[in-house]
């Protein structure tokens, strides 16, 4: 099925009849397709299924093409990003093409699906703007951080689950709630891996979030438990790319047992996701949560 979705994306691109677009698009590395896997796990068969998944994946790709420019990131999924190969202008324009084509195709689907996805893109963009503004200074506000990640990461995952349920004729609200909680857990796990995993496994430099100005949950928790003098040291390392900062941070995350605290937070949202679809009898969706949060960090 995932191969069929990739073929559909390719045929949407081919329909644009533009060799430069095809050339640029050929450098995008396919991801894990989490959103499509969710849709398929909720609705295994429907005539609009492949189109819906291709649309969602193209919107996800568009947002990452723009995000890599915003974050000045040269690597995506372990490979050079489109902006690294062809420059920022091309990455932005390719993102626009993907986004526009996806929306054109979206108009052919059920209006509830079109509204769910387009609303998620508003939230996605709102989240990215908050992310950029929050990177101006060290953020200590946990609620603000959660709102940002709900918008930036959970919204499209929630909409994907909701749309899968709409196609399958299921209670879409329950699945949207599942997707939202899964998305929050997913981002918290991602925040953790940025700190605990080696660069070779991450496909990008380790501990890059704090350097990019992202005060993710582990940093907010560390700030909360530190005495005043050490808070000042933590803040002084914000956006700094220094070996000394990495060493200090690793030591203090250990000293104050921050990682298990954040793992527990991710599991809380994972459990909420499972609770949202209890009695729906979808073991596949429960497995998605479990493999994401019950793992080594």
Chain positions contacting ligand FPP, by CB under 6 A: 59, 62-63, 66-67, 71, 73, 95, 99, 121, 124-125, 128, 152-153
When the beta carbons of 37 and 76 are compared against Mg ion, the nearer one is 76
Q: How many helices (H) and strands (E) does the chain have?
A: 17, 2
Query: In whole angstroms, how close is the CB of 208 to Mg ion at the nearest point?
Result: 9
Query: In whole angstroms, how close is the CB of 45 to ligand FPP at the nearest point?
Result: 28
Half-sphere exposure for 164 (CA within 13 Å, toward CB): 29
User: Hey, is 80 helix, strand or coil?
Assistant: strand
**Phi, psi of 226, rounded to the nearest 5 degrees:** -75, 145
When the beta carbons of 121 and 293 are compared against ligand FPP, the nearer one is 121
Query: In whole angstroms, how close is the CB of 252 to Mg ion at the nearest point?
Result: 25
Give CA angle at 142 (141, 145), nearest 5°. 90
Buried b (16+ CB within 10 A) or exposed e, 75-112: bbeeeebbbbebebebbbebbebbbebbbebbeebeee
174 binding partner (options Mg ion, ligand FPP, none; Cβ < 5 to 8 Å by kind): none
Query: In whole angstroms, how close is the CB of 290 to Mg ion at the nearest point?
Result: 27
Site string for Mg ion, 145-174 (x = CB under 5 A): ------------------------------
**Phi, psi of 108, rounded to the nearest 5 degrees:** -85, -10
When the beta carbons of 99 and 138 are compared against ligand FPP, the nearer one is 99
Q: Which helix (H) or strand (E) holds 75?
A: strand 75-76
Query: In whole angstroms, how close is the CB of 173 to ligand FPP at the nearest point?
Result: 23
Sign of CA dihedral 32, 36, 39, 40: negative
| Separation of CA 150 from chain center | 10
> Tokens representing 7?
């073929």
- Regarding 71 and contact with Mg ion (CB under 5 A), the answer is yes
When the beta carbons of 12 and 286 are compared against ligand FPP, the nearer one is 12
When the beta carbons of 102 and 263 are compared against ligand FPP, the nearer one is 102
Alpha helix positions (H), 46-108: 49-70, 82-86, 88-106
59 binding partner (options Mg ion, ligand FPP, none; Cβ < 5 to 8 Å by kind): ligand FPP
Where on the chain is the footprint of Mg ion (CB under 5 A)? 67, 71
């Amino acid at each position: 099925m995932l191969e069929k979705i990739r073929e559909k994306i390719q045929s949407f691109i081919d329909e644009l009849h533009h060799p430069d677009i095809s050339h640029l698009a050929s450098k995008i590395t396919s991801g894990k397709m989490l959103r499509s896997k969710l849709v398929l796990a909720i609705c295994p068969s429907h005539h609009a299924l492949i189109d819906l998944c291709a649309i969602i994946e193209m919107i996800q790709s568009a947002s990452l093409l723009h995000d890599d420019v915003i974050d000045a990131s040269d690597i995506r999924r372990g490979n050079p990003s489109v902006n690294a190969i062809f420059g920022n202008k091309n990455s932005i324009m390719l993102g626009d093409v993907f986004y526009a084509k996806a929306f054109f195709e979206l108009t052919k689907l059920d209006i509830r699906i079109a509204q769910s996805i387009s609303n998620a893109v508003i939230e996605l963009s709102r989240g990215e703007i908050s992310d950029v503004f929050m990177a101006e200074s060290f953020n200590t506000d946990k609620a603000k951080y959660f709102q940002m990640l709900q918008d930036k990461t959970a919204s499209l995952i929630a909409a994907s689950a909701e749309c899968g349920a709409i196609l399958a004729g299921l209670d879409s609200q329950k699945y949207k709630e599942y997707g939202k909680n899964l998305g929050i857990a997913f981002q918290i796990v991602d925040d953790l891996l940025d700190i605990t995993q080696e660069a070779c496994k991450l496909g990008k430099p380790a501990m890059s979030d704090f350097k990019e100005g992202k005060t993710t949950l582990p940093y907010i928790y560390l700030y909360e438990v530190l005495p005043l003098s050490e808070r000042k040291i933590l803040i002084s390392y914000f956006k700094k790319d220094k070996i000394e900062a990495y060493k200090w941070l690793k030591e203090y995350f250990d000293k104050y047992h921050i990682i298990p605290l954040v793992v527990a937070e991710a599991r809380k949202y994972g459990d909420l996701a499972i609770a949202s679809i209890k009695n729906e009898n979808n073991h596949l969706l429960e497995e998605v949560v479990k493999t994401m949060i019950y793992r080594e960090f």
